[in-house]
Amino acid sequence: MKLLLFLLLLLPSSITAQISSSDVQSEKTIVERLSKHYPNIKDSNELNLTLKKELSPLDNKSSVIITNVFTANFTADVKDELNSTSDSLFKEALQQTKQINRTDLELWTTTQYAFYLYTYRKYEASFPFFIASIRNLDKIDTQLIISPCETYKKIGFFLMTNGDYQTANTYLLAAKKYVLPNSSELASILNNLGMVSLKTNKLAIAEKYFNETISVATASKDQLTYAKALGNIAEIKLAQKKHDEAIKLLHTDIIISKKLDNTKNTIYAMVSLAKVYLTQGDVTKANELLHEAESYAASKTYLKSSGYEITALILQIAKQTGNDKEELTSRRNLEALRETLAEMDGQDVIRKVRWAMEKEKLQFGIDNEKAKRQRETYGKLLALFGCFLLILVIFFIVKRFKTKITTEKNEYDEKILKLTLDKETSEQKLQINHQTLQSYKTFLSEKNEQIKELEGEIANIKQTSSTYSDNYQHKIQELLNSHLLDSESWIAFKTSFIQNYPQYYQHLTKNFIGLTDSHLRIIFLSKLEMSNIEIARILGLTVDAVKKAKHRLRKKYSEDYASLFDEG
């Protein structure tokens, strides 16, 4: 029963996934082309025109999903914050992917929504969507993943924030397989691989990745990633106590980030530099940088966690320098930020998500093991079911074969019985009519028809592969042979013939010296107006043999040949 249920459950998935593989690949190509062109789109009008042009060949439902996702991302980028429009569009797209049962579109849409929440620091809210993406990645054929590099990379970023560096490294390396050489996307992945190594204290590997990042970022003219790599190398220099080199690198990072108007990276570099100054004891420079960074952080609602770190450092300096006013202000700011971050990406939230992630990984492992055992169980059940079906098929084949043999045997036996009865009936009629010459004519004519029918049966048997055919052919051949004019039946026929044609027989014996019984058989049967074919059948000869026999008689008795068949 379980097996039947399992097989039935498989049917809907095969029925619902009616979209062809070529259509799936076409959608995948279009989405990836749109993603590549997306950074160059200037306004919503251009976005709408581009989407309309690119998506026109696609199925309407898929087109709506893709349009919603790109529009949601564009709205968020323009507003640079969480917004109800983007939320609504993402949720609608997700609902539609479930309705059409498309795991590929669901994976892509879920990852896009999760990263939107993650970008704007709704860390806890993004968690279930990232988990859904990870689970879907485990199910789907890798060839069907839409924008695989982007998908693996975004999940990798989330895992890095969560502190799961080993798994993050795996996802980033997976993303790296899909990027073009010397692309900004490759530069970003290399930089984050370096960050993973840096966080796990593998400084040599980290520095190698960062140097590769600088090389690729330079080739691809990706100034922002170039600046980030400099800032990350500064952390290595700081760990190596090379403070001056770290300061120089961070200054360059800040200059580039400000030039590019990238608030997030500007803040990150400023805080890093302030920490270097504090390490050197230069409180003044550190305090100036932190207050500047604080103003940047206040400009974006999603930068509250950065604001919290900055305020904590300012509080540290205020306590160190005895600035009571600054200390009080900082404490108040920290308290307000703590309440805000309870719903965003504060340390408590990160710890909570990290714990949930560990729990999820454990559950994921349990589910995988359960699924593995279930697959093994179903595999065994399928094997047993297959064996049962095979036995059932063999049973029915054998049964059908036996039935066929029995049926054929019965049919053959019935035919033999009929043919035997026909023979016996003819013989009985001959006996009843006292073996007169006229009755012999009828008898021989019937024999001819019966022999003809038997020869037809033998010809048919030779074209079949029936198990019983050899035995049947043997019986038919025996029956056919019994119809031939043998010695005993020849004597009876000859006697009846002579009684009816005494003068003709005397004519033959007197005028045709040397006639044998073989000659007389052909002459007598011809006298009864039987054709060469009929004579051949009765005597068990070929037609050619009868013709040759007559030809020899013609040659032997030449002038008198015609009178052989007259009463004379």
Q: Where are the domains of the chain?
A: 21-174, 363-481, 489-565
38 Cβ contact list (under 8 Å, min separation 6): 70, 73, 74
Task: Give pLDDT tens digits along the chain (568 positions).
Answer: 444 444 434 444 433 344 567 778 888 889 989 998 898 998 999 999 999 888 888 778 889 999 999 999 999 999 989 999 999 999 999 999 999 888 999 999 999 999 999 988 888 889 899 999 999 998 898 999 999 999 999 999 999 988 899 999 999 999 999 999 999 999 999 999 999 999 999 999 999 999 999 999 999 999 999 999 999 999 999 999 999 999 999 999 999 999 999 999 999 999 999 999 998 999 999 899 999 988 888 888 778 778 888 888 988 898 888 888 888 888 888 888 777 766 655 555 566 566 566 656 545 554 555 555 566 667 777 877 888 888 888 888 877 777 777 776 777 677 777 777 776 776 677 677 656 777 777 777 777 887 877 777 777 777 776 666 677 777 777 777 777 777 777 888 788 888 888 888 888 888 888 888 888 888 888 888 888 888 888 888 888 988 888 888 888 888 777 777 765 4
Question: Shortest CA distance to 294 belongs to which of 317, 276, 324?
Answer: 317
In the structure encoding, which two tokens stand for residue 508, read together? 């033959």
Contact 54, 33 (CB under 8 A): yes
Dist. CA 464–CA 546, nearest whole Å: 31
Between the alpha carbon of residue 348 and those of residues 15, 162, 305, 340, the distances in Å are 46, 12, 11, 12
DSSP letters of 405-450? HHHHHHHHHHHHHHHHHHHHHHHHHHHHTTT-HHHHHHHHHHHHHH
Contact 191, 232 (CB under 8 A): yes
Q: How far is CA 128 from the centre of its chain?
A: 29
In the structure encoding, which two tokens stand for residue 30, read together? 């279009």
State the number of CA atoms in the 13 A half-sphere of 385 facing the CB.
12
Question: Shortest CA distance to 537 belongs to which of 549, 520, 554, 522?
Answer: 522
Question: Shortest CA distance to 212 belongs to which of 235, 199, 193?
Answer: 193
Contact 89, 67 (CB under 8 A): no
Dist. CA 537–CA 53, nearest whole Å: 87
The per-residue pLDDT for 12 is 40
End-to-end CA distance of the chain: 94
Q: How far is CA 188 from the centre of its chain?
A: 34
In 100-178, alpha helices (H): 103-119, 123-139, 148-161, 165-176
Place of tokens 């803040």: 267
**The CATH number, out of the four listed (1.25.40.10, 3.40.50.720, 3.40.50.150, 3.40.50.300), of the domain defined by the range 21-174:** 1.25.40.10
What does residue 42 show for φ and ψ, rounded to 5 degrees?
Answer: -95, -35
DSSP letters of 334-396? HHHHHHHHTTTT-HHHHHHHHHHHHHHHHHHHHHHHHHHHHHHHHHHHHHHHHHHHHHHHHHH
Question: Shortest CA distance to 537 belongs to which of 450, 432, 437, 409?
Answer: 450
Between the alpha carbon of residue 396 and those of residues 390, 400, 401, 468, the distances in Å are 10, 6, 8, 20
**Can you give the pTM of this predicted structure?**
0.62
Angle at 532 between CA 531 and CA 537, to 5 degrees: 100
The per-residue pLDDT for 568 is 46
The per-residue pLDDT for 154 is 95
Dist. CA 304–CA 335, nearest whole Å: 12
Contact 17, 45 (CB under 8 A): no
Output the CA torsion sign for 519, 524, 527, 530. Answer: negative
In the structure encoding, which two tokens stand for residue 370, read together? 């359960």
Contact 408, 466 (CB under 8 A): yes
Dist. CA 234–CA 43, nearest whole Å: 37
Question: How many separate helices (H) and strands (E) can be counted in the chain?
Answer: 25, 0
Q: How far is CA 437 from the centre of its chain?
A: 83
The region, left, alpha or beta by phi > 0 then psi within -120 to 50, assigned to residue 221 is left
CB atoms within 10 A of CB 94: 21
Contact 313, 321 (CB under 8 A): no
Dist. CA 446–CA 77, nearest whole Å: 104
Contact 272, 235 (CB under 8 A): yes
What does residue 493 show for φ and ψ, rounded to 5 degrees?
Answer: -65, -45
- Burial annotation 537-554 (CB, 10 A radius, 16+ → b, else e): bbbebeeeebeebbeebe
Dist. CA 517–CA 495, nearest whole Å: 13
The per-residue pLDDT for 205 is 96
Dist. CA 401–CA 205, nearest whole Å: 73
